[in-house]
Amino acid sequence: MLVLITYDVQTSSPDGARRLRRVAKVCQNYGQRVQHSVFECIVDAAQLTKLKLELMELIDHEKDSLRIYRLGNKYRNKVEHIGAKPALDLEGTLIF
Amino acid sequence: MRKLLNTLYVTQPDAYLSLDGDNIVLLKDQQALGRLPLHNLESIITFGYTGASPALMGYCAERNISITFLTASGRFLARVIGQSRGNVTLRKAQYRISDQERESALIARNFIIGKIYNHKWMLERMTRDYPLRVDVERFKSISHQLDEYLYEARSCENLETLRGLEGQAAWHYYQVFDDMILQQKESFTFHGRSRRPPRDHVNAMLSFAYILLTHDMAAALESVGLDAYVGFLHRDRPGRVSLALDMIEELRGIYADRFVLSLINRKEVTPNGFYQKENGAVLMTDETRKLFLKAWQAKKQEMITHPFLGEKIPWGLVPYVQALLLARYLRGDLDEYPPFLWK
């Protein structure tokens, strides 16, 4: 299924900046960055649980927020892209 | 059933593949060309020479993502496999059988039966779908001939005889192969198989399709714990994936040949998409190859009902399922290896 992950990490302290980098890194391991703090990941239920646990360990629950949108398997008609930086269709034909 | 994951094709010869976290990053002149998470991938096929980092190869080997390197023209160069893991007992059973003539023949004959059966039904299907465009009588007579070979193969326990039967059946099948090309006849004709190098458009595409199929098959065999290099019908030769070649016999016709025929008959490829080298080799242009790979990926996503399992699976998982069935036979869970019989 396609899962959309967005986050807000408070970066006013150096500690926050480090959290931000780490959250981005974890998200990138599972999916592709479509906008600055928005990631699209194609994962199964087990992978999603793992990803969620990894992120929950990282963030500061007092200051940061994390939103996860499950778009299911039939996500193609639910997502539309307009403008620059079109995302890669990870389940389409991949030729570079 | 296992999920069919995607295949990444890298056709730019100057792209270098590297690993970053769980991502594969394609680099070109130190610039990232693309980046994607590896858990979405089943295999990676690259054309050209630049290469991949050992870290990436190690990562992929560990997670059963196969990497195959082909030359820019599509000839096989190398394949990355990791430490042999999986089931030792299963592999030992495979080696024991491959050393025994009769035991090997019992499996090999099912590959051949599958192949002849599938070829026969390709011909029958042509007479049914295009009775006015093909020479029905000729097709029928060859189909009957194939029936006889099928009958003979059924009780054959000798590898040499089997190879003979296979050769004869293939000869008959190729007699009418050209008749199955219904469109663009003037530029796509088939005068028999030629390989290393392929000498016409049709052979160029057939060779390429067989390479892709062999890659998928070898990867599937290794993912169920079998050794792709130890075959039953094909003799062992260093560097040859004999078992993968054995296993694709039954799929060549219905998977690869039909795919190539439909590309021609639906006019998706045109004669302009090929060029000839000085030595007579006919090759696809980059454009055509991309189109070919795109269609191949689409074919892999098409759903079918597996004739033996009765389960709905995408075409792309057929090699995997057949590898699984072979493993079950070697373990003694099945009385016979069930070939993929497709009507």
Tens digits of residue pLDDT in B121-172: 888 888 888 878 878 788 888 888 888 888 888 888 888 888 888 888 888 8
What average pLDDT does range B297-319 have in this prediction? 85
| pLDDT mean across residues, chain B | 84
Question: Is A88 in contact with B293 (Cβ distance < 8 A)?
Answer: no
For chain A, the average pLDDT equals 86
Q: What are phi and psi of A23, to 5 degrees?
A: -60, -45
For A22-61, the pLDDT digits (tens) are 888 888 888 888 888 899 998 888 889 989 999 888 888 8
Q: Tokens 């597996």 label which residue? A: B306
Helices vs strands, H then E, count in chain B: 10, 11
Which of A96 and A45 is assigned the larger pLDDT?
A45
Q: How many helices and strands (H and E) does chain A possess?
A: 2, 5
Q: Closest approach of chain B CAs to the CA of A95, in angstroms?
A: 5
Burial of B287 per CB tally in 10 Å (0-12, 13-18, 19+): exposed
Looking at residue B259, its pLDDT comes to: 92
pLDDT at B84: 60
Rounded Cα distance between B223 and B324, Å, is: 9
Q: Both tokens of residue A10?
A: 């408070």
What phi, psi does B68 have (nearest 5°)? -125, 135
Chain B residue numbers touching A28 (CB-CB < 8 A) = 21, 23, 35, 37
Annotated binding-site members of B for Mn(2+): 166, 234, 249
Q: Report the pLDDT averaged over residues B105-111.
A: 87
What is the nearest CA distance from A6 to chain B, expressed in angstroms? 17
- Return the H-helix or E-strand segment holding B333: none
Position B286: which residue type? D
* Token couple for A58: 């990282």
Which residues are A6's β-sheet partners?
A38, A67
Q: Higher model confidence: residue B248 or residue B73?
A: B248
The answer to whether the Cβ–Cβ distance between B37 and A25 falls below 8 Å is: no
What per-residue confidence (pLDDT) applies to B86? Answer: 64
Alpha-carbon gap, residue A92 to A89, rounded angstroms: 5
pLDDT of residue B274: 79
Contacts of residue A31 in chain B, CB cutoff 8 Å?
37
Residue with tokens 């997670």: B63
pLDDT(B83) > 70: no
Assess whether pLDDT exceeds 80 at residue A95: no
Q: How far apart are CA A58 and CA B237, in angstroms?
A: 52
Whether A90 has a pLDDT exceeding 80, the answer reads no
Nearest by CB to residue B36, choosing from A25, A44, A90, is: A90
Give me the phi and psi of A36, to 5 degrees please. -55, -50
Q: Residues of B annotated as binding site? A: 166, 234, 249
Q: Name the pLDDT band for B47 (thresholds 50, 70, 90).
A: confident
Name the percent of chain B lying above pLDDT 70: 97
Out of A32, A88, A95, the one facing B290 most closely (by C-beta) is: A95
Q: What is the mean pLDDT of residues B272-287?
A: 79
Q: Is B196 on the interface with A (CB under 8 A)?
A: no
Q: How confident is the model at residue A6 (pLDDT cuts 50, 70, 90)?
A: very high
Neighbours of B57 (CB within 10 A): 19
pTM of the entire predicted model: 0.74
Residues 6+ apart with CB under 8 A from B92: none
Q: Does B125 touch chain A (CB under 8 A)?
A: no
Show which residues on chain A lie within 8 Å of chain B, measured between beta carbons: 25, 28-32, 41-44, 47, 88, 90-96
Q: Name the residue among B9, B21, B39 with its Cβ closest to that of A95.
A: B9
Decide: B274 and B208 in contact? Cβ < 8 Å: no
- Whether residue B82 has pLDDT greater than 80: no
Q: Strand locations in B123-278, DSSP E? A: 274-276
Tokens of B263: 């590309």
Instruction: Give the confidence band of B324 by pLDDT, cuts at 50, 70, 90.
Output: confident
Tens digits of residue pLDDT in B181-202 = 888 777 777 777 777 777 788 8
Spatial strand order in the sheet of B66-70 = A94-95, B6-10, B41-47, B66-70, B76-80
Q: By the 8 A CB rule, do A52 and A4 touch?
A: no
CA distance B23 to B46: 17
Give whole-number Cα distances, A55 to B47, B149, B237, in Å: 37, 62, 50
- Report DSSP state, residue B239: T
Least Cα separation, residue A41 to chain B (angstroms):
9
Top residue of B5, B17, B36, B212 to mutate, by most chain A CBs within 10 Å, is B36
Report the candidate in A26, A40, A52, A45 with the shortest Cα–Cα distance to residue A90: A40
Q: Which residues of chain A does B7 touch, with a Cβ-Cβ cutoff of 8 Å? A: 94
| Closest residue by Cα to residue B123 from B249, B253, B252, B247 | B253
Q: Two tokens at B334? A: 């099945």
If you average pLDDT over residues B51-72, what whole number do you get? 85
